[in-house]
Amino acid sequence: MPVPMRDSEGWRLRKVAASLYGTGWGGRGWVVNRKWALRARGRCSGRFLWGPRPREWGSPFSDPRRWRWQRLTGRCAGGSESTLAPAGGRVAVPSTLRVPENRNGRSPKGQDGAGPRIQYLRSSFLKKHLEKMTHWFHRNPLKATAPVTFNYYGVAAGPPASKICSDLRSSRARLLELFTDLSCNPEMMKNAADSYFSLLQGFINSLDESTQESKLRYIQNFKWTDTLQGQVPSAQQDAVFELISMGFNVALWYTKYASRLAGKENITEDEAKEVHRSLKIAAGIFKHLKESHIPKLITPVEKGRDLEARLLEAYVVQCQAEAQEVTIARAIELKHAPGLIAALAYETANFYQKADHALSSLEPAYSAKWRKYLHLKMCFYTAYAYCYHGQTLLASDKCGEAIRSLQEAEKFYAKAEVLCKEYGETKGPGPTVRPSGHLFFRKLGNLVTNTLEKCQRENGFIYFQKIPTEAPQLELKANYGLVEPVPFEFPPTSAQWTPETLASFDLTKRPKDDSTKPKAEEAVKPVREPDTRPQKDTGCSIS
């Protein structure tokens, strides 16, 4: 593993960890070099490195109000005992920082008065700065589109028609900008999407709310790329195709927003709820497109494209599964009954298996990485289900069956570990990460191992039950916490569309296409998505 740069955050965190736990950088005790010192009072003149101590940490120091990590460049202003040690030596520690004596009147072993092994740093500080993420989501790239000007010279005969075209052009450009704007939130996205979709509805639906379509539906050609097949575009001269493709991107944005928000270092309960809600909204959009608008397309969808029914089904089910991951994390945090957690994990594993099955007939070159993710999560949450089911069996004094359930959890965890490696090596759309290095993965491994060891100890001392050869059947049904997509509807036609406005579009003045002249292909530039790697690692922590 490469050693981080001396001025990097990772180097400083390793410095703290080594000082606390006595490994590296000088051995046991609070050992620092000549550029580092800890001050309890006064103000150092060196470079600021660490912020103020939160109040809830408490302090063994005489001045509990603040403390700093500083790079020492001279005497500390207001201090009287700062001393520079030779290179590689110890810094003289002020008396206010001496280690309190223990009950026997002695300093803790290994300290010798050199400095405190501060206990509260072990929990609060390292938990905040060294703990990595507990969840991680795979994301496909956004769809890209060719520019659309909505300039209909001769057709848009009056000012109302020109105003509609201008508003369509600006609202579409605004919506495309928000897809890559990190400051965008769901409210901004909803307002921008509703503004564009309400104007676009005038190109699709008749104003008298009859089943007849608008005369402007086929006036404009729209071109979009595919999330799986890269920059190979599909084009249709149909406003419904534009409505579906843009709606698809809006749903993708909600999934990416949820992933980005979940990847924050210190996520709040409200933010966790926002992750949960965003994934349900995305599932609702995908479901609405699949059921209500895809059948309206005149040109059939090409196989393996984003708008094909099996891909939309995979997106819907994946969003439901990921939202349930948030529910499971919450249930574990609140220490709900193991039976409920096992049932939720089993339902989540089934969701991932269903999504993987929807993609099974796709070309492996495009779907291999995505399917590795779905299969990995299926094995992972099956292991979770067996683990917590084992806890339920142990509580029912069925220790032998509990051990067999935990052994099955170990087997699925080992499968997930292999899939983690394969996912990182598989080429295709999506991020390049190593899931096995994330805390969300390692945490389950420790839980399974510790629970199995506990069951084996109990069986060896108390129960003496025979371990079944067959794994217990997981016929678990969760009655609470199951995720359903939020119902979605496109906004109604904008009030700007009136019979007079529609009449000002004169299709008879539309210029005839000259098929003898070759047309230049419109370039579809890929979407330059911002770097949304979560802080500290790829994934998210739900607390």
Model pTM score: 0.74
How many angstroms separate the CA atoms of 58 and 56, rounded? 6
Strand partners, 68: 39
pLDDT of residue 207: 87
Neighbours of 457 (CB within 10 A): 11
Task: Reply yes or no on whether the pLDDT at 432 is more than 70.
Answer: no
CB distance 297 to 238 below 8 Å: yes
pLDDT of residue 45: 37
Residues 6 or more apart whose CB falls under 8 angstroms from that of 59 comprise: 53, 67, 120
Task: Reply yes or no on whether the pLDDT at 23 is more than 50.
Answer: no
CB distance 168 to 285 below 8 Å: no
pLDDT of residue 461: 92
Tokens 């059948």 appear where? 295
Residue 89's alpha-carbon distances to 16, 46, 92, 253, 461, in angstroms, are 17, 19, 10, 53, 52
Per-residue pLDDT tens digits for 364-405: 888 999 999 999 999 999 999 999 999 999 999 999 999 999
Residues 6 or more apart whose CB falls under 8 angstroms from that of 210 comprise: none
Written as one string, the DSSP assignment of 263-288 is TSSS--HHHHHHHHHHHHHHHHHHHH
How many angstroms separate the CA atoms of 211 and 486, rounded? 26
Q: Which domains are delineated in the chain?
A: 1-126 (no CATH), 131-335+491-543 (1.25.40.280), 360-479 (no CATH)
pLDDT of residue 436: 58
Task: Reply yes or no on whether the pLDDT at 464 is more than 60.
Answer: yes
| Most confident option among 45-59, 207-221, 260-274, 281-295 | 281-295
pLDDT of residue 277: 98
Of 304, 198, 193, nearest to 250 by C-alpha is 193
Residue 248's alpha-carbon distances to 43, 225, 229, 288, 289, in angstroms, are 55, 12, 15, 10, 8
pLDDT of residue 9: 53
The alpha-carbon radius of gyration of the chain (Å, integer) is 30
The pair of structure tokens assigned to 461 is: 């001392």
Judging by DSSP bridges, how do beta strands 234-236 and 36-39 pair with one another? unpaired
Residues 6 or more apart whose CB falls under 8 angstroms from that of 240 comprise: 204, 217, 293, 296, 297, 298
How many angstroms separate the CA atoms of 190 and 52, rounded? 39
Task: Reply yes or no on whether the pLDDT at 435 is more than 60.
Answer: yes
Single-letter residue type at 365: A
Q: What is the mean pLDDT of residues 66-73?
A: 35
More confident residue, 441 or 372: 372
More confident residue, 537 or 410: 410
Instruction: Print burial letters for 303-340: b (CB count within 10 Å at least 16), e (below 16).
Output: ebebbbebbbbbbbbbbbbbbbbbbbbbbbeeebebbb
CB distance 507 to 157 below 8 Å: no
| Most confident option among 102-106, 200-204, 263-267 | 200-204
Q: Which of the residue ranges 125-134, 183-192, 247-256, 453-462 would you say has the lowest mean pLDDT? A: 125-134
Q: Which of the residue ranges 121-125, 412-416, 432-436 would you say has the lowest mean pLDDT? A: 121-125
pLDDT of residue 538: 38
Task: Band the pLDDT of 474: cuts 50, 70, 90.
Answer: confident
Single-letter residue type at 221: N
Task: Band the pLDDT of 102: cuts 50, 70, 90.
Answer: very low
Mean confidence (pLDDT) of the chain: 77
Single-letter residue type at 514: D
Strand partners, 48: 70
pLDDT of residue 251: 98
Task: Reply yes or no on whether the pLDDT at 466 is more than 90.
Answer: yes
Q: Half-sphere exposure of 308 toward its Cβ, with a 13 Å CA cutoff?
A: 17
More confident residue, 247 or 542: 247
More confident residue, 362 or 252: 252
Mark out the alpha helices in 233-363 (DSSP H runs).
239-262, 269-288, 309-333, 338-358
Helix (H) or strand (E) holding 440: helix 439-458
Task: Reply yes or no on whether the pLDDT at 486 is more than 50.
Answer: yes
